[in-house]
Amino acid sequence: MLSQGFVSAAAIAASVLFILSLGGLSNQEKAKRAVWYGIVGMAVAVGFTALGPGIGGYGWLIPMVLIGAGIGTYLARKVEMTEMPQLVAALHSFVGLAAVFVAWSADLERRRVLAARAADGVMQEFSAFAALVATKAPDELTFLQIEVVLGIFIGAVTFTGSVIAFGKLAGKVDGKPRQLPGGHLLNAGAAVLSLVLAVMYLNGAGFWTLILLALLAFFIGYHLIMGIGGADMPVVVSMLNSYSGWAAAAIGFTLSNDLLIVTGALVGSSGAILSYIMCKAMNRNFVNVILGGFGGSQGPAAEIEGEQVAIDAGGVASALNDADSVIIVPGYGMAVAQAQSAVSDLVRKLRAAGKEVRFGIHPVAGRLPGHMNVLLAEAKVPYDIVLEMDEINDDFASTDVVIVIGSNDIVNPAAQEDPNSPIAGMPVLKVWEAKQVFISKRGQGTGYSGIENPLFYKENSRMFYGDARESLNTLLPLID
C-alpha cells in the first residue's frame, strides 16, 4: 500500500501528462506522441490510485480492470474509423452513468455515518469513503450533498443524451429532430422539478428524492438530444464530451479525488471550447445547443431548378488532366466508403503530374470534430496540403476542378441563399465558385442529413455516381 504522498505525486504527474496530451492533439504531427502521453498518464492514474491508502477489495477490483481492459482492446481492434463517433458517444454515456452510481453510493454512505453518530455508536466496518465522510463537519456534509446533486443531474443528462446521440449516429434512431408535445416546456418543467427535489434533499428529505432527480435528468438528456437534428451531431458529440468531463469532476469532488477533479475539468473545459468552435462553424447559438433548440427547418425550403447531370470516370479524368489546380473536399461519405487510401493515391498521381492539389476541410465535416483530418492522416496525405475552411474558401474562384467526396451540408449554397434552410447562415465551403465541380455520391438521395443541395443542380456541377472508393479506383488509371 502506497502512502498518500506517493499517490498525490502520481496525480500531479498524470495531470501534467493529460495537459501535454491535450496540447499535442492540436497539431497533426504531434498527435501520436500526444496520444501516448494520455495513455501513460491514465496508466499512472489508475495504477497509483488502486494502490493508494484506503483502497481494498482487490478481489473485485482486479477482475473488473481486466474485463474492462479486454473489452477496450476488443473494441479498439474491431471498431472501424467510420464508427468512431458513435463509440465516443457510447463512452460518454458510461462516464455519466458512473457519476450517478457514485453519487447514490456517496449519499448512502453519508446516511450510514449520520445514523452511527445519532446512535452514538462506532461503525466497525467503515468503507474508505465512509471513513472520509466521518471526518467531515456538518457544513462540509452540506457541500457533499450539493456535490451529490450535481453529480446525479449532470451524469444522468450525459448518460441518456449520449445514448440517443449514439443511436442517431449509428442509424438506430431517426436522425430528424423529434420532441414530445410541449417541446421545451417539458424540459423546463423537468428542470424546475429537479431543482425542487434538490432543495428537498438538502433539507433532509429521503433517498427517494435522488432517485426521482435521476429519472428527471434522464428524461431531460433524452429529450434534449432527440430534439437535435442528425446533421448537427458533431456539435452534440463535443457538447456531451464537455458534460462527461463535468460529471467526472463532480465525482472527483464527491470522492475528494484531486486527479478526477483536474481530469474532469480538462475534459469539460476543452469540450466546451470545442462546442463553441463547432457552433461558430455552423453559425449556431451556443445556448441553443445546450437547450437542444436547433436542427430543424425554419420554413418551406426554396425550390430547386435544373437537373442533376451525371458524368463517367472518363469525363472526370479528362477534366483533371487538363486542370492546373484541384481542391478535394471530403465528407462522411468518404469515411463510409473507406475511400481515403484511394484519395491519397489520386493526390500522389495528380501531384506527380505537376498539378496543385489541396484539401478543403470544414470544421464539422464527418460526424466527429477532426474526423476528416484523422482519415487523411491515416492515408498518409501530407499535412501541409490539408487546409481549413477559412484558409481555402477564397481560393475556389481561381480553382479549375473541385472534387466533392460524400459531402452535403458543408458545400450547400442554400446555407447562404435560402433563409428557410435548416442550415441557413452556416458558413460553407464555396465549391460552386470553381470552374468545374464533380460530386462523388452513391445516388440521388439527400443522404444522412435529409437536406436537398442546390449545388448538385448547378451548370458547372456534375454527379459522379457510385461508391466513392470504387469510383476513384476506376478513375486512377485514366489520370495521365
Active-site annotation, residues: 409
Backbone dihedral region for residue 229 (phi beyond 0: left; psi -120 to 50: alpha; all else: beta): beta
Backbone dihedral region for residue 57 (phi beyond 0: left; psi -120 to 50: alpha; all else: beta): left
Identify the CA nearest to 423 among candidates 455, 388, 380, 383: 455
Which residue in the block uniquely carries the three cell numbers 455508536?
121
Cβ contact 224:187 at 8 Å = yes
CA distance 133 to 131: 5
Cβ contact 169:85 at 8 Å = yes
CA distance 298 to 423: 9
Long-range pairs for 86-89: beta carbons < 8 A, 24 or more residues apart: 86/165, 86/166, 86/169, 86/170, 86/367, 88/237, 88/241, 88/368, 89/162, 89/163, 89/165, 89/166, 89/169, 89/237, 89/240
SS3 state of residue 441: strand
